[in-house]
Amino acid sequence: MKKGPVYKRVLLKISGEALLGRQQHGIDADMCASLAGQIKEVHEAGVQMALVVGGGNIFRGRLETERFGLDRSVADYMGMLATVMNGLALQNALEQIGVQTRVMTAIQMHAIAEPYILRRAIRHLEKRRVIIFVAGTGNPYFTTDTAASLRATEIGCDVIMKATKVDGVYSADPVKHKDAKKFKSLKFIDVLKKDLKVMDATAISMCMDNSLPIIVFDLLQKGNIKKVIFGEEIGTIVR
């Protein structure tokens, strides 16, 4: 591992499912604490950290649309509110260990989070605060992957770190297909052509247009956040 971080400003994309921990539904306090500890470690190394968190551990808009016949816009707004709950849980875990944190939301709710304003977000980073972006883009029909690409581009991140339950991008689902091939690196256009499930097509296209690399890695392996930021070659890089 290199002596110092190779990225100065990073956006970490965390799925809602990552917060499940050992639970079947909701938020696992131990998982939040573990994540907070790893984030604190790299934050103290001088890295400016922003997070985008999903809401799938509480509410998945697309699935609920099919199950209950909800209007897609309504279901997506409900999913956005789930990301706010996750963001507040992560904020609490981080502040309990002394990391100054701001939750910024794309849907205004003044009592619990700041509205997202670009200049204010950058100022928070410069003041050594971790930012948690919630409520996606504030619009239905857009995923939190797209929100991650948008926010990372706006605040000038060096890389998006996509935290998953597998150790990179494979040619097929490695759980179902034992012969699935792991990619060490990929080009954006190949992800789109092969329909690899790294992020949705809108998010990939935005990263490609702005030359913003994505590193896909295993979040469940403790210490991987630091390894990626310090330049260790784990997971898959898309650029």
pLDDT in tens, 11-59: 999 999 999 988 888 999 999 999 999 999 999 999 999 999 999 999 9
In this structure, is residue 3 part of a structural domain? no
pLDDT at 23: 85
Which residue range(s) make up the domain with 20?
9-238
Is a pLDDT exceeding 80 seen at residue 103? yes
Is a pLDDT exceeding 70 seen at residue 2? no
Is a pLDDT exceeding 70 seen at residue 182? yes
145 pLDDT band (50/70/90 cuts)? very high
In this structure, is residue 155 part of a structural domain? yes
Is a pLDDT exceeding 70 seen at residue 86? yes
In this structure, is residue 205 part of a structural domain? yes
Distance in angstroms (rounded) separating the CA atoms of residues 130 and 124: 7
In this structure, is residue 1 part of a structural domain? no
Distance in angstroms (rounded) separating the CA atoms of residues 231 and 126: 22
pLDDT at 206: 97
CATH number at residue 55: 3.40.1160.10
In this structure, is residue 130 part of a structural domain? yes
Q: Point out which residues pair with 102 in neighbouring strands.
A: 131
Give the mean pLDDT of the chain: 94
In this structure, is residue 4 part of a structural domain? no
In this structure, is residue 146 part of a structural domain? yes
Of the candidates 69, 184, 82, 208, which has an alpha carbon nearest to the alpha carbon of residue 134? 82
Is a pLDDT exceeding 50 seen at residue 1? no
In this structure, is residue 184 part of a structural domain? yes
Number of structural domains (the chain) is: 1
Structure tokens at 77: 């707004």
pLDDT at 88: 98
Is a pLDDT exceeding 80 seen at residue 62? no
In three state form, how does the secondary structure of the chain look? CCCCCCCCEEEEEECHHHHHCCCCCCCCHHHHHHHHHHHHHHHCCCCEEEEEECCCCCCCHHHHHHHHCCCHHHHHHHHHHHHHHHHHHHHHHHHHCCCCEEEEECCCCCCCCEECCHHHHHHHHHCCCEEEEECCCCCCCCCHHHHHHHHHHHCCCCEEEEEECCCCEECCCCCCCCCCCEECEECHHHHHHHCCCCCCHHHHHHHHHCCCCEEEEECCCCCHHHHHHCCCCCCEEEC
Q: What is the mean pLDDT of residues 113-124?
A: 98
